[in-house]
Amino acid sequence: ELARATAEGRKREFAEHGWDADEIPDPQDPATFERSKLNWNEIDDGEHGRLRMLYRELIALRHTEADLADPWLDHMVVDYDEDARWIVMQRGSLAIACNLGSGAVDVPVTGDVVLAWGEPTLTAKTTRLDGHSFAIVGNR
């Protein structure tokens, strides 16, 4: 009964976020578990390696940039444009600009790119982010 309730609840939850309920894998199916396991042979290949390296760089940045390790939310300023699908979180001298949409957008931050996913283009007043990308920009 619990397995059935879990599977049905998962389908409902994913459907609420726009997924086709018929395409949601059954969490009780052993094949779902097997498909979800990491393939350690791919760890440094292609996009897998690129993403792993990004995580390593983000972790290292938190150790060297005190502004990124600050746990207090009242030390952060957030700006966003829901229609353009971007958000900027400013902490101290660093801004994390994220493009949540599929098209390129100009975000009202500029400075030196500290780390990015994609190829941001900086101008005097904005940073252009490709779709589904981010840049951490510093004003030093």
Walking along the chain (140 residues) 10 residues at a time, the average pLDDT comes out as: 88 86 85 90 90 95 91 92 97 95 96 95 95 90
pTM for the model stands at: 0.76
Rounded to the nearest 10°, the torsion over CA 127, 93, 63, 43 is -10
Count of other CB atoms within 10 angstroms of residue 72: 7
Predicted pLDDT of residue 11: 87
Classify 11 in phi/psi space as left (phi over 0), alpha (psi -120 to 50) or beta.
alpha
First vs last Cα of the chain: how many Å apart? 58
Q: Which residues neighbour 84 within 8 Å (Cβ) at sequence distance 6 or greater?
A: 101, 105
